[in-house]
């Protein structure tokens, strides 16, 4: 995709977020009512009073939709979170478990899983949720590539080109390993942090009460649970291992 076409797509993308939180790389946060990418390197944040400001995208760690769950839903949501959405198990690399979703990136995923010691099934579920395996994907919030890395996150984990599939996956998996280590292998918290930032997980002492984040963790955990129950991941791993020996 040529730069001119990417720029046109970015300029057409304006998100009127009813309530969002912009988290900055210096630790500050700010409530915004909307945001849009001005170009590949800049984002405009809009405020309730009608004002707006444009700043480098590299200063934004992420933008989280700040739609909290309704009071009537709170008991069920709290029970679901307390019970845990992901299985209670290790998320280290296991050679018998491969990617849940087959793609042309299976070998890259397995290599990154081995290198950074992260479960390959979990990695593929995250990629499916983030970009549906589109290496050129750009979100309205500025996240890029297969694992939807914000520029600040890409820089933090050594990715110089987020549209390079191998580099993007390696950076995203390094980040996942860091989050799993930080939250003691608790996948619920690690994935909540991948979506909403580790700062919000620490702030709320658990999964933040954002509808987007709760739905994100629930969606990925359901896919992983179903795959583990059906025992399809081991078959995928065997197929990949066999292909690698040819």
Say what the pLDDT of residue 229 is. 81
Per-residue pLDDT at 240: 43
Q: pLDDT tens for residues 39-88?
A: 888 999 999 888 999 999 999 988 988 777 666 667 777 788 888 899 98
pLDDT band for 9, please (50, 70, 90 cuts). Answer: very low
pLDDT at 211 over 50: yes
Catalytic residues: 130
Given this model, what pLDDT does residue 233 score?
Answer: 44
Contacts by residues 178-187 (CB-CB < 8 Å, ≥ 24 positions apart): 180/91, 180/118, 185/90, 185/91, 185/92, 186/86, 187/86, 187/91, 187/122, 187/221
Map out the domains of the chain as residue ranges.
Answer: 3-65, 71-244
What's 71-244's CATH class?
A: mainly alpha
Q: Which of 126, 123, 122 is nearest to 224 (CA)?
A: 122
pLDDT at 239: 43
Strand order in the sheet with 34-39: 14-15, 34-39, 42-46, 52-56
Give me the CATH topology for the region 3-65.
Answer: SH3 type barrels. (2.30.30)
């Amino acid at each position: 995709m040529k730069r001119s076409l990417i720029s046109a797509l970015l300029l057409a993308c304006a998100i009127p977020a009813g309530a969002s939180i912009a988290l900055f790389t210096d630790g500050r946060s700010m409530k915004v009512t909307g945001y849009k990418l001005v170009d590949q390197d800049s984002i405009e944040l809009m405020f309730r009073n009608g004002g707006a400001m444009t700043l480098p995208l590299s200063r934004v760690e992420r933008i989280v939709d700040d739609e909290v769950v309704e009071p009537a839903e709170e008991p069920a949501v709290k029970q679901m979170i307390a019970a845990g959405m992901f299985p209670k198990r290790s998320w280290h690399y296991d050679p018998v478990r491969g990617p849940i979703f087959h793609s042309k990136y299976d070998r890259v995923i397995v290599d990154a899983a081995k290198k950074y010691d992260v479960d390959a099934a979990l990695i593929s579920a995250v990629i499916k949720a983030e970009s549906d395996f589109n290496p050129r994907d750009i979100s309205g919030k500025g996240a890029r590539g297969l694992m939807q890395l914000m520029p600040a996150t890409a820089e933090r984990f050594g990715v110089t080109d987020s549209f390079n599939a191998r580099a993007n996956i390696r950076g995203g998996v390094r980040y996942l390993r860091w989050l799993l280590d930080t939250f003691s292998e608790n996948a619920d918290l690690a994935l909540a942090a991948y979506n909403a930032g580790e700062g919000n997980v620490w702030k709320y002492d658990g999964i933040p009460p954002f509808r987007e984040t709760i739905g994100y963790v629930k969606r990925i955990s359901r896919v992983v649970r179903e795959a583990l129950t059906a025992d399809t991941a081991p078959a995928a791993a065997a197929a990949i291992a066999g292909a690698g020996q040819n």
